[in-house]
Structure 1
Amino acid sequence: MSLAAAPGRDGNGRKGAGTSPAGFYNAAVDLIDRNLAAGRAAKTVFIDEAGSYSYGDLAERADRFVNVLHTLGVAPGERLVLALLDTIDFPTCFLGAIKAGVVPIPANTLLQPADFAHMLADSGARALVVSEALLPKLVEAADIAKWDGLVVVSGAEGQGRPLLAPLMAEADKTALAAQTRPDDVCFWLYSSGSTGRPKGTVHRQSSLIETARLFGQGVLEIGEGDLVYSAAKLFFAYGLGNALTFPMAVGASAVLVSGRPTPDMVADVLRRARPTLFCGVPTLYAALVASPALPGRGEHALRLCTSAGEALPAEVGRAWTELTGVEIVDGIGSTEMLHIFVSNRPGAVRYGVTGRPVPGYRVRLVDETRREVATGEIGEMEVSGPTAAAHYWNNPEKTHATFLGEWVKTGDKFRQDEAGDYIHCGRADDMLKVSGIWVSPMEVESALIGHPAVQEAAVIGVADAAGLVKPKAFVVLKPGTSADAALIVALQDHVKSRLAPHNYPRWIEFVDDLPKTATGKIQRHVLRSREAAHPRGDAEK
């Protein structure tokens, strides 16, 4: 990899094609320059809490950051951790690093110092750009990891460390691009860690635009007139596509919000900013449906919503559409595949199913021997498509277990119904066998959420005194609902009325909240660990 005239804008800012005749391809150059070539330099690309920024502004900011990296001595191929909140500095640094041939690694901003320390040490990062509010945690993380790389602070106070804004102001406003190729390393994402230590997932230059083409345009039909708001943050593969790649691929715009997406805050953004596309996760949709702040029909500008991270409970989807008049297109993706590869379709949504393969991807369901299962049987999903990651960084054992030739193991159990739709049954390690029959925690959770008293539910397997595994449910009730023994019986009867008898939860525990990753996935392994520390002494009656 070398630095040469950009495949798109050259060192003098002139416009050109996204891929050079020699076969070079740089994802950042493509995403920015396709908009300049289309005459969108003055069009808004991002709106954050400080203001709005045009495609021309972003092009200049990215070039300035390329030159900042040169000044700091960060070379092509070296890693750069981005611990940044959702502001204009995220796309600036992410795209600027890619243009420079440096490998950006967006970090989950809700991690604790020990987790950041793992990421800094595991990645061997040369430098870090961190939002001022996150600096204390990253300083502690660097101490834990004994990491002594370069630190640049996005904000007004860096505690003696260089600040991003002055560095950018002093840098030249045009820059050359690294001569990368489509299969070269572009960026990494660390997995969400829902079942263990996060793994560095290595993505190629061509993958960003492929997700935009296949799902953003092929399914969501995103266009230049759309304004996207993704409650899922940019550090998350789902949020990165929603709020950066998809809008930039077609000249649309995106709203960036740095704070955590509470129902009140999300409702305010939907009313005030009036996005046309909203991208959330099931737990947030459930909270919004239960919130009096949710904008009703006529109080928003939404044309479509998306959901991913976990299966969207059918009752939540139906309630959302009833209240807002807008469909939620539910789908499943993964860090390894970068974005959604199985999805419902606008205008043909079936709540309670995940849908069908996104054009460009193939999926299959296999048993423990990797033989395909019959329609209606539960199997583990494998997926094949052009956005698969190259490998896990520094983890050959996990790489060999996950990336199987053209197929990628998802770790998710599904069944396919007679109509051809795939139904998510849960993570492979979350599935239960009760009385010799597979039980899907997600189906039990969906049934529970269908009760008017329930806001959220998580189901795990618990052994009774006889050592037999049975479902146990942890339930978050809607505000104003009282928990008592009568409600437990009512919830158990509610599940029995909707599912086969062996599915009903033998125990129900009411909780204030459920443990989740920063991306909204329920951490059932945390519930299992808690339960293992307090084994049950009662047998089922």
Structure 2
Amino acid sequence: MSGLSDSYNAVTWLLDRNIAEGRGDKLAFTDTVSDLTYGGLQARSCQLANLLKRLGVRREERVAMIMLDTVDFPVVFLGAMRAGIIPVPLNTLLTSEQYAYVLADCRARVLFISSALLPVVRDMLGRLPDLEHVVVAGTKVDGHKSLVDEMAGESETFATVATHADEPAFWLYSSGSTGMPKGVRHLHASLEATATTYARQVLGIREDDVGLSAAKLFFAYGLGNALTFPMSVGATTVLNSERPTPATMFGLMRRYNPSIFFGVPTLFAAMLNDEASKDQGGFTRLRVCTSAGEALPESVGNNWKSRFGVDILDGVGSTELLHIFLSNRPGDVRYGTSGRPVPGYSVRLIDEAGLDIADGEIGELLVDAPSAGEGYWNQRSKSRRTFEGHWTRTGDKYVRDSEGRYTFCGRADDMFKVSGIWVSPFEVESALITHPAVLEAAVIPEADAEGLLKPKAFIVLRPMALSDGLHESLKDHVKQKIGPWKYPRWIEVVEALPKTATGKIQRFKLRDGAAV
């Protein structure tokens, strides 16, 4: 990012600058149990950096985070970066085997984990030769280090490492077409880049804002919403460690009266349809809502605005680009579209030959972004296909209208998102066919009553496999194998699947209703 010196540590800009500007006593984070001021966060991040030094972790080495959204998350994330060590926040909904893969892939020396999540990884920790320490946040657990105890004796001062603006600061893992996560290496300069573009010029974020994000901190979207953006102006964030259900989010909104609410389309639709909260009206301080992760149905945006009196700024971002690069804006909302490019980002639509296309034509979206990742860890061929010089391929198909607004048309491949998380049909199919009743399976996206995409499965059963309760058994099986959000909401039993002459499943025929 232009204007940054070679010696640049993102923690200095995000955190220490707030202390220098007199916000040491201001509330930075609350998780409904604990509060953390900017001054307290600075002290604890220094303690964390000293702890990592004592544990023998060196600059540029990785520490993994499987942590719920509590005040401990920013302490670990910023403390590691302060020491020039790379934090790797991981999705808290992965399976044991997925954690084993990612922890081995990033070669984490230390794992910071919330006590409630420890049972998921306990049995595989001994299989990771690079992992030397497990530090548990929350309730103390016998046999593992306690975060509160380990930090207690550490100094509250630390000489922040003089990292480079272009030096990797943290990694985020993004799922790919095979379903296996890819580590995206993000730079120290990238956090400030998202704050000075989207947060400042689209949200207009202010020091007096109170933000609440349904998306968790381990997501690129949630990291910007709940950490980068508020800290860039000295605002306050309400963290939620629980699942973002309508009841939970409405309860937090009533308690804290946020001025910015960051959601996803599935949650907005669920909140609108929640019977227990049907009489819930507007909130006095709420001035803006945002949505990302998947396209926001027009009806959801209109119904939310009608009920709560506040627009939802629908946009699109990615793990590779760290946050939103196309967005609607206050006073310029067109529901059903992803809006226009965020200031500081340039976009192109190209055809299969790589040529720019005209308005009204569908093409693949490429983005020139100041916040683009450096590449994927140990995935050279995929890095070269995605990161092409200044341009990053999003894999999204879009159309641009004559006013410069972009509308999402679908993925360039078969991937689709459920509740803002990528789902690979192949991954769900692979899980289904490990069930003893299933011979073959094909999965496509299907829109539910709210227009949101969910997995639909077509399955060929083994002889005599049809039985009462089979559909629920299959759904539970997928949840256990690959994650609770990826299970098929609808399952249709068929005699055969449409295939090419070489045996490949023709999903497009299933999507078009020309199946079997």
**Fold in common (TM above 0.5):** yes
Aligned to 2:57: 74
Equivalents in 2 of 1:32, 1:336: separation in Å?
Answer: 24
Whether 1:262 and 2:223 are equivalent positions in the alignment is: no
Q: 1:341 aligns with which of 322, 325, 328?
A: 325
Q: What whole-Å deviation, never above 9, does each CA across 1:207-260 have from its counterpart, x for those lacking one?
A: 001101100111000000100000100000000000000000001000011011
User: Structure 2 vs 1, CA of residues 310 and 141 (structure 1 numbering), >3 Å: closer, same or farther?
Assistant: farther
Equivalents in 2 of 1:363, 1:294: separation in Å?
Answer: 40
Equivalents in 2 of 1:338, 1:272: separation in Å?
Answer: 30
Alignment of 1:130-209 (within 5 A): 130-143=113-126, 145=128, 148-192=131-175, 196-209=179-192
Aligned to 1:83: 66
Equivalents in 1 of 2:327, 2:128: separation in Å?
Answer: 40
CA shift, 1:193, in A, is 5.2
User: Structure 2 vs 1, CA of residues 126 and 145 (structure 1 numbering), >3 Å: closer, same or farther?
Assistant: closer
User: Structure 2 vs 1, CA of residues 512 and 126 (structure 1 numbering), >3 Å: closer, same or farther?
Assistant: closer
Aligned to 2:195: 212
Aligned to 1:58: 41
Equivalents in 1 of 2:479, 2:32: separation in Å?
Answer: 27
Q: What whole-Å deviation, never above 9, does each CA across 1:333-369 have from its counterpart, x for those lacking one?
A: 0000000000001111110000100000000111111
Aligned to 2:506: none
The residue identity in structure 2 corresponding to 1:247 is: P
Whether the 8 Å CA contact 1:309–1:521 is kept in 2: the answer is no
Q: 1:284 aligns with which of 267, 271, 275?
A: 267
Count of aligned pairs between the two proteins: 456
CA shift, 1:159, in A, is 2.1
Equivalents in 2 of 1:139, 1:94: separation in Å?
Answer: 22
Whether 1:356 and 2:317 are equivalent positions in the alignment is: no
The residue identity in structure 1 corresponding to 2:311 is: E
Equivalents in 2 of 1:92, 1:64: separation in Å?
Answer: 9
CA shift, 1:126, in A, is 1.0
Whether 1:111 and 2:113 are equivalent positions in the alignment is: no
Q: What whole-Å deviation, never above 9, does each CA across 1:100-142 have from its counterpart, x for those lacking one?
A: 0000000101111111111111101111111101112122232
Aligned to 1:46: 29
User: Structure 2 vs 1, CA of residues 179 and 111 (structure 1 numbering), >3 Å: closer, same or farther?
Assistant: same
Q: Compare 375-384 and 529-538 and name the one that shifted more.
A: 529-538
Percent identity for Structure 1 against Structure 2: 47
Equivalents in 2 of 1:357, 1:534: separation in Å?
Answer: 47
User: Structure 2 vs 1, CA of residues 339 and 242 (structure 1 numbering), >3 Å: closer, same or farther?
Assistant: same
The residue identity in structure 2 corresponding to 1:191 is: S
Secondary structure of the equivalent of 2:203?
coil
Equivalents in 2 of 1:533, 1:115: separation in Å?
Answer: 31
Equivalents in 1 of 2:10, 2:215: separation in Å?
Answer: 22
Secondary structure of the equivalent of 1:360?
coil
The residue identity in structure 1 corresponding to 2:274 is: S
Whether the 8 Å CA contact 2:177–2:415 is kept in 1: the answer is no
Whether 1:322 and 2:283 are equivalent positions in the alignment is: no
CA shift, 1:156, in A, is 2.5
Whether the 8 Å CA contact 2:475–2:488 is kept in 1: the answer is no
Equivalents in 1 of 2:95, 2:415: separation in Å?
Answer: 29
Q: What whole-Å deviation, never above 9, does each CA across 1:492-516 have from its counterpart, x for those lacking one?
A: xxxxxxxxxxxxxxxxxxx999x99
Equivalents in 1 of 2:403, 2:279: separation in Å?
Answer: 34
Q: Let me know the Cα RMSD of the aligned residues.
A: 3.1
Q: What whole-Å deviation, never above 9, does each CA across 1:396-428 have from its counterpart, x for those lacking one?
A: 011011011111000100001122210001111
Equivalents in 2 of 1:181, 1:331: separation in Å?
Answer: 30
CA shift, 1:195, in A, is 5.7
Aligned to 1:438: none
Alignment of 1:118-133 (within 5 A): 118-133=101-116
Equivalents in 1 of 2:379, 2:451: separation in Å?
Answer: 38
The residue identity in structure 2 corresponding to 1:271 is: R
CA shift, 1:51, in A, is 2.3
CA shift, 1:459, in A, is 7.7
Equivalents in 2 of 1:516, 1:201: separation in Å?
Answer: 26
Aligned to 2:373: 389
Whether the 8 Å CA contact 1:83–1:131 is kept in 2: the answer is yes
Task: Calculate the TM-score normalised by the size of structure 2.
Answer: 0.82
The residue identity in structure 1 corresponding to 2:347 is: V
Aligned to 2:423: none
User: Structure 2 vs 1, CA of residues 460 and 380 (structure 1 numbering), >3 Å: closer, same or farther?
Assistant: farther
Equivalents in 2 of 1:388, 1:365: separation in Å?
Answer: 18
Whether the 8 Å CA contact 2:265–2:452 is kept in 1: the answer is no
Equivalents in 2 of 1:103, 1:272: separation in Å?
Answer: 35
CA shift, 1:157, in A, is 1.8
Aligned to 2:358: 374
User: Structure 2 vs 1, CA of residues 313 and 144 (structure 1 numbering), >3 Å: closer, same or farther?
Assistant: farther
Whether the 8 Å CA contact 2:456–2:491 is kept in 1: the answer is no
Whether 1:313 and 2:274 are equivalent positions in the alignment is: no
Aligned to 2:386: 402
User: Structure 2 vs 1, CA of residues 459 and 91 (structure 1 numbering), >3 Å: closer, same or farther?
Assistant: closer
User: Structure 2 vs 1, CA of residues 245 and 539 (structure 1 numbering), >3 Å: closer, same or farther?
Assistant: closer
Secondary structure of the equivalent of 2:181?
coil
Secondary structure of the equivalent of 1:87?
coil
Secondary structure of the equivalent of 2:136?
strand
Query: Could you list the runs of 5+ residues in structure 2 that have no partner in the other structure?
Result: 417-443, 460-473, 499-512
The residue identity in structure 2 corresponding to 1:535 is: A
User: Structure 2 vs 1, CA of residues 137 and 424 (structure 1 numbering), >3 Å: closer, same or farther?
Assistant: same
The residue identity in structure 2 corresponding to 1:375 is: D
Whether 1:535 and 2:496 are equivalent positions in the alignment is: yes
The residue identity in structure 1 corresponding to 2:259 is: T
The residue identity in structure 2 corresponding to 1:322 is: S
Whether the 8 Å CA contact 2:297–2:452 is kept in 1: the answer is no
Q: What whole-Å deviation, never above 9, does each CA across 1:415-459 have from its counterpart, x for those lacking one?
A: 011222100011111499xxxxxxxx99x94xx74xxxx574548
User: Structure 2 vs 1, CA of residues 142 and 295 (structure 1 numbering), >3 Å: closer, same or farther?
Assistant: farther
Equivalents in 2 of 1:193, 1:267: separation in Å?
Answer: 33
The residue identity in structure 1 corresponding to 2:409 is: C
Aligned to 2:399: 415
